Amino acid sequence: MAQADVLSAMPQQRIGRPADPCTMVIFGAAGDLTRRKLIPALYNLATNQLLSREFAVVGVARTQISEDEFRKRITNDIQQFASNGVDRDLWEWFLRRLHYVHGDFKDSNLYPRLKETLDKVDAEHSTHGNHLYYLATAADYFGPIVEQLAGVGLMHEGGEHWRRVIVEKPFGHDLESAKNLNQQLLKVADERQIYRIDHYLGKETVQNILAFRFANGIFEPIWNRRYIDHIQISVAETVGVESRGSYYDQAGALRDMVPNHIMQLISLTAMEPPVSFRADAVRDEQAKILHAIQPLSAEDVLSKTVRGQYGSGLINGERVPGYREEEGVPHDSKNETFVAMKLQIDNWRWADVPFYLRTGKRLPSRSTAVVIQFRRAPFVLFRDTPVENLMPNQLVMHIQPEEGISLRFAAKVPGPAMRLGAVDMNFEYADYFGSQPSTGYERLLHDCMIGDATLFQRADMVEAGWCVVSPVLDVWKALPPRNFPNYAAGTWGPRDAEDLLERDGRHWRDFEK
Ligand code: BG6
């Protein structure tokens, strides 16, 4: 088939405009992220006619292999990781646009060679000199790579072309290192050239929080302290640390999940309506929420946060090792694999409404959800009903693996007496929209290629996220835990996590029922 026709002949319907012409340069092209997510995501974009015809990829990695060998490897990988089969013609179209440069990211000799390759690739594929640099590397390389790119003129935006950089967490390991990293990047690039990915924002269900809140007239009027009792955010995983023991042992559940993914969920749930969907309008409102989170004092850290580490236990009936027995983890590790916290947002809408968060590894079921619990109805009519039967209304935004929204309310149990039972009204994505195979990176890559930064984090947001967890990191460091491991794999974390809510007369939503 003629090259230009391959894209338009693809069956799926395009929603949105194709991206700008560009060359995407992937640093870390031999790594897992590239094989599992980036290439399959680019392929899905091509399938949906969302890539420009004037497009190319340049992989950069240390491995000294030829371009042909690189193409062969990527072809093997796509068979394994494509979300929905691979079309031969389209894949060939894609392969012709795939190039490779080897070198050490810190070696200054790499960059003039890369520049030469990019000049050729730009000319061959008419990519207009637009470059998207994806740093799929360890965070230590972010600063040096961007500096070296700038050194050979590859960050310079002149005339008609753009230059953008995507980086993905970890953005530092505390507030100070995050600030340093931002400074390093901003020394040679403009904030609008930097796209900080939080892969949670690539999830449809996370983006849907905005649609749900602001495209429907009926929820926003009750989305405040007058009607909402509290909010729970649970990010539960059944997996352990997998093969990432040595990274995870330096990070821990708090750094790994809270300043980034969980802060995204909080800010989208709690933000004020933005004046438009322009990137900065949305991000300004998100940032305001992050800044309004009440800083925890040392006493608060002791009473409002809980940390845990899993010991051995049963997941789906199978025995799994404790954290300290995992590969790459010291046998006396004091690192936490579970965290729960109670936060308050100091603003007019949320005063006195607690936000309870919990996240952990090796919990009994995988589920990420935001639970909005409304205030109870007055008891007047149902005075004789046991209080536990008067279930408060809960609206649950199920992020994953269930994707949907459910509303729990009380209904009369059929029979002669007035008895109440809790029932759920459910919306599931798959029922309405089918399931779209996706890696979660498609939208983010496409947005970067069209210059839409709405779903990316600004420097100030990253720093605000770290401000929230900083006091916790400090207190936890000063007082190492004495009782680890303190929960068995396959349970919902340490008992203290239940107490955190029970003290306030509340309970975590049960996701196993
Ligand atoms: C990553 C964390 O950012 O997110 C992992 O480093 C975690 O520890 C993962 O497992 C969770 O992502 P998802 O998309 O599976 O919820």
CATH class (in words) of the domain with range 201-502:
alpha beta
On the question of pLDDT at 442 being above 90, the answer is: yes
Look at residue 243 in the predicted model and tell me its pLDDT.
85
Residue with CA at minimum distance from ligand 1 atom 8: 256
Residue with CA at minimum distance from ligand 1 atom 14: 200
On the question of pLDDT at 3 being above 50, the answer is: no
In tens, the pLDDT along 224-245 reads: 999 999 999 999 999 999 888 9
Contact in structure between 220 and 308 (CB atoms under 8 Å): no
Cα end-to-end distance, the chain, whole Å: 52
In tens, the pLDDT along 279-327 reads: 999 999 999 999 999 999 999 999 999 999 999 999 999 999 999 999 9
pLDDT band at 5 (very low <50, low <70, confident <90, very high): low
Look at residue 12 in the predicted model and tell me its pLDDT.
46
Going from the C-alpha of 264 to that of each of 199, 201, 474, the distances in angstroms are 10, 8, 23
Distance from C-alpha of 423 to C-alpha of 411, rounded to nearest angstrom: 7
Q: Who's near 216: CB < 8 A, 6+ residues apart? A: none
Q: Who's near 454: CB < 8 A, 6+ residues apart? A: 277, 278, 279, 282, 283, 447
Q: For residue 273, how far is its CA from the centre of ligand 1 (angstroms)?
A: 28
Look at residue 157 in the predicted model and tell me its pLDDT.
94
Rounded to the nearest integer, the mean pLDDT of the chain is: 93
Q: What is the DSSP string of 118-162?
A: HHHHHHHHT-TT-EEEEE-S-GGGHHHHHHHHHHTTTT---TT--
Q: Who's near 280: CB < 8 A, 6+ residues apart? A: none
Contact in structure between 259 and 468 (CB atoms under 8 Å): yes
80: β partners: none
Contact in structure between 136 and 31 (CB atoms under 8 Å): yes
In tens, the pLDDT along 153-180 reads: 999 998 789 999 999 999 999 999 999 9
Contact in structure between 434 and 204 (CB atoms under 8 Å): no
In tens, the pLDDT along 382-431 reads: 666 665 556 789 999 999 999 999 999 988 889 988 788 889 999 999 99
Closest atom of ligand 1 relative to the 235 alpha carbon: 16
Q: For residue 200, how far is its CA from the centre of ligand 1 (angstroms)?
A: 9
Pocket of ligand 1 (CB under 6 A): 199, 237, 256, 368
Phi, psi of 101, deg, nearest 5: -135, 130
Distance from C-alpha of 270 to C-alpha of 355, rounded to nearest angstrom: 10
SS3 414: coil
Q: For residue 151, how far is its CA from the centre of ligand 1 (angstroms)?
A: 34
**Strand 55-61's sheet: what is its strand order?**
98-102, 55-61, 22-27, 131-135, 163-168, 194-197
Give me the mean pLDDT over the 9-15 stretch. Answer: 49
Going from the C-alpha of 29 to that of each of 9, 99, 122, 311, the distances in angstroms are 29, 10, 19, 36
Phi, psi of 68, deg, nearest 5: -60, -45
Report the percentage of the chain scoring pLDDT > 90: 85
233: β partners: 357, 370
Question: Which of 206, 256, 438 is the best mutation target for the ligand 1 pocket, counting ligand atoms within 8 Å of the beta carbon and taking the most?
Answer: 256
Residue with CA at minimum distance from ligand 1 atom 4: 257
Distance from C-alpha of 411 to C-alpha of 401, rounded to nearest angstrom: 27
Residue with CA at minimum distance from ligand 1 atom 15: 237
CA triple 224-236-219, angle to 5 deg: 20
Q: Where do the H-state alpha helices sit in 191-297?
A: 204-214, 245-257, 263-270, 279-292
Distance from C-alpha of 385 to C-alpha of 221, rounded to nearest angstrom: 29
**Token pair for residue 289?**
């929420």
Closest atom of ligand 1 relative to the 251 alpha carbon: 6
On the question of pLDDT at 11 being above 80, the answer is: no
Look at residue 16 in the predicted model and tell me its pLDDT.
77
Residue with CA at minimum distance from ligand 1 atom 10: 237
Catalytic site residues? 261
Q: For residue 11, how far is its CA from the centre of ligand 1 (angstroms)?
A: 32
Contact in structure between 481 and 303 (CB atoms under 8 Å): no
Q: For residue 437, how far is its CA from the centre of ligand 1 (angstroms)?
A: 19
Going from the C-alpha of 136 to that of each of 26, 79, 130, 142, 250, the distances in angstroms are 7, 21, 19, 9, 19
Look at residue 389 in the predicted model and tell me its pLDDT.
59
- The residue ranges of DSSP E strands in 258-337, in sequence order, are 305-308, 310-311, 313-315, 318-320
Look at residue 452 in the predicted model and tell me its pLDDT.
95
On the question of pLDDT at 1 being above 90, the answer is: no
- The residue ranges of DSSP E strands in 45-202, in sequence order, are 55-61, 98-102, 131-135, 163-168, 194-197
Closest atom of ligand 1 relative to the 260 alpha carbon: 3
Going from the C-alpha of 414 to that of each of 382, 387, 409, 419, 421, the distances in angstroms are 16, 19, 15, 8, 10
Distance from C-alpha of 381 to C-alpha of 464, rounded to nearest angstrom: 46
Superfamily of domain 3-168: NAD(P)-binding Rossmann-like Domain (3.40.50.720)
Question: Which of 171, 173, 199 is the best mutation target for the ligand 1 pocket, counting ligand atoms within 8 Å of the beta carbon and taking the most?
Answer: 199
Distance from C-alpha of 301 to C-alpha of 341, rounded to nearest angstrom: 9
Look at residue 7 in the predicted model and tell me its pLDDT.
57
In tens, the pLDDT along 367-379 reads: 999 999 999 887 6
Closest atom of ligand 1 relative to the 248 alpha carbon: 8
pLDDT band at 84 (very low <50, low <70, confident <90, very high): confident
Contact in structure between 466 and 259 (CB atoms under 8 Å): yes
**Which residue, 242, 144, 241, 132, is CA-closest to 195?**
132
In tens, the pLDDT along 86-120 reads: 999 999 999 999 999 999 999 999 999 999 999 99
Going from the C-alpha of 400 to that of each of 28, 30, 81, 315, 457, the distances in angstroms are 28, 29, 20, 18, 22
Going from the C-alpha of 208 to that of each of 99, 218, 399, the distances in angstroms are 36, 16, 9
In tens, the pLDDT along 244-284 reads: 898 999 999 999 999 999 999 999 999 999 999 899 999 99
Closest atom of ligand 1 relative to the 239 alpha carbon: 10
Closest atom of ligand 1 relative to the 261 alpha carbon: 3
Question: Which of 37, 169, 237 is the best mutation target for the ligand 1 pocket, counting ligand atoms within 8 Å of the beta carbon and taking the most?
Answer: 237
On the question of pLDDT at 14 being above 50, the answer is: no
Distance from C-alpha of 95 to C-alpha of 70, rounded to nearest angstrom: 10
Q: Where are the domains of the chain?
A: 3-168, 201-502
Going from the C-alpha of 201 to that of each of 437, 439, 456, the distances in angstroms are 17, 12, 8
Q: For residue 199, how far is its CA from the centre of ligand 1 (angstroms)?
A: 8
Distance from C-alpha of 284 to C-alpha of 276, rounded to nearest angstrom: 11
Look at residue 30 in the predicted model and tell me its pLDDT.
94
Contact in structure between 427 and 27 (CB atoms under 8 Å): no
Q: For residue 50, how far is its CA from the centre of ligand 1 (angstroms)?
A: 26
